[in-house]
Amino acid sequence: MIGIATNYSDIEARHSSGVYGLRGMTLVRGEGAILWDDRGRRYVDCTAAYGVASLGHCHPALVAAVRDQAQQLISCPGIFANDQRALLLQELTKALPAGLDRVFFCNSGTEAIEAGLKFARLATGRPGIIAAMSGFHGRTMGALSATWEPHYREPFAPLLPGVRHIPYDNLAALEAALTDDVGAVLLEIVQGEGGVRPGSAGFLLGAQRLCRERGALLIIDEVQTGFGRTGKLFAVEHYGIEPDLLCLAKGMAGGIPIGAVALGPRAGHPGVGTHGSTFGGNPLACAAARATLRVLHEEQLPQKAAQKGAFLLERLRSIKSRRVREIRGLGLMVGIELRERATPYLQALQERGLLALSAGPTVIRLLPPLIIGDDELEFAVRVLEEVLSQP
């Protein structure tokens, strides 16, 4: 019927599985760090679609790469080589930290974790997995077993046996838990969902040393921190960590679904048929990932994320609000821990044109596109100040 606007939120509420708490608005268009809803309202995006749209929305180089590749070849299974996949393998292994010179492609973060856990099991033959409290690794059964948050895990028990959670950033606890049945130690460099908590160099390098001494593999989950988010192309570079397996996804192809696990020398050679993915390494996603890597490099986005992140942290720390407990982060991965629940504040920010995320019950998480402009960051700080300092 002409004149009656379609309520897309209602349709989603009625017909989707219901696993997402809808925010009551419909996004229809994006450009750079700006999003528009179906009523023409404009928002500054500090979510980057959960840290995915690091080049901003509809970056011309990404749009062109996807359009050109869609006209060339979209699907090509792993049994046939493909030009885009081969070139991405070459370019990615060149950009990765030393030693990570083979890659398995999949389609999401949780799949990257599943592959990492399987490769570690194959290489070591050991079933034990150590992960950290407040860690988040995904929602499929293996990755979920390593995820900490009990309300994500408990409804699905029994999960993988042999998973132990230690307090994050506590090397003594890791040392005590790392027995000779442990094949994998799975850690984030900055815990994302768990509240934006950067780990210390001592803990992470200590974990690497202990893994080498005791025959376990160190799996670093850079699904959220990878591809420039923290101010380096990969967050492991902050501390010179050389993981045995590095899990990647989110920002890797600027918003086109992709995931990957990079394998170092201790990860062995998983044989033919040990793992696979129908969509993994498809030419469309590979072309998008190549364009993303090129733009990250040409526009020096990791360096910009470091500068903008430092500016954002400084400006946020100057906000005077009794509601704020702590502000922390690395690069453009920033958490504002409140003394109360974050959800009402996310809604208040949204009403004022700023989109942000939560990270656990009390943390407001900012993951803006790495291309965000200074004016847009200023706007974000102004709106946060207004909302957080209300009486």
Ligand X SMILES: Cc1ncc(COP(=O)(O)O)c(C=O)c1O
Kindly list the residues in this chain that would bind ligand X in the complex (CB under 6 A).
50, 108-110, 113, 136-138, 188, 192-193, 221, 223-224, 249
Structure tokens at 308: 């903008």
Nearer to ligand X, 236 or 387 (CB): 236
Give exposure, 310-336, as e/b (b: 16+ Cβ within 10 Å): eebbebbeebebebbeebbbbbbbbbb
What is the Cα–Cα distance from 242 to 264, expressed in whole angstroms?
A: 8
Comparing CB distances to ligand X, the nearer of 111 and 376 is 111
Q: Cβ 164 to ligand X, closest distance in Å?
A: 18
**Between residues 308 and 365, which has the closer beta carbon with respect to ligand X?**
365
Question: What is the smallest separation between the CB atom of 272 and ligand X, expressed in angstroms?
Answer: 26
CA torsion sign, 31 to 34 to 37 to 42?
A: negative
| Closest distance of CB 143 from ligand X, Å | 6
Q: 224 or 350, CB closer to ligand X? A: 224
234 is catalytic: no
Q: Which of 204, 191, 205, 237 is nearest to 96 (CA)?
A: 237
Residue 365's alpha-carbon distances to 24, 47, 94, in angstroms, are: 19, 8, 31
- Residue in 189, 191, 216, 193 with CA at minimum distance from that of residue 205: 189
Dihedral over Cα of 212, 100, 188, 316: its sign: positive
Question: Taking the complex as a whole, how short is the minimal distance between the CB of residue 216 and ligand X, in angstroms?
Answer: 19
Nearer to ligand X, 69 or 108 (CB): 108
37 is catalytic: no
8 or 50: whose CB is closer to ligand X?
50
| Residue 250 designated active-site | yes
Structure tokens at 72: 């060339």
Contact (Cβ atoms closer than 8 angstroms) between residue 5 and residue 37 = no
Q: Please tell me the distance from the alpha carbon of residue 207 to that of residue 329, in angstroms, as a whole number.
A: 21
- Of residues 104, 105, 119, 136, which has the active-site annotation? 136
Say if CB 189 and CB 198 are below 8 A apart.
yes
Q: Which of 221, 244, 304, 379 is catalytic?
A: 221
Specify whether the CB–CB gap between 354 and 379 falls below 8 A.
yes
Task: Considering the complex, state which of residue 43 and residue 148 has its C-beta at the smaller distance from ligand X.
Answer: 148
What is the Cα–Cα distance from 188 to 223, expressed in whole angstroms? 9
Taking the complex as a whole, how short is the minimal distance between the CB of residue 26 and ligand X, in angstroms?
Answer: 22
- How many angstroms separate the CA atoms of 235 and 225, rounded? 6
Task: Please report how close the Cβ of residue 222 comes to ligand X at its closest, in angstroms.
Answer: 8
Q: How many CB atoms within 10 Å of residue 151?
A: 6
Residue 188 CB, nearest distance to ligand X (Å)?
A: 5
| Catalytic pick among 45, 227, 250, 379 | 250
Q: Which amino acid is at 56?
A: G
Residues identified as active-site: 136, 221, 250
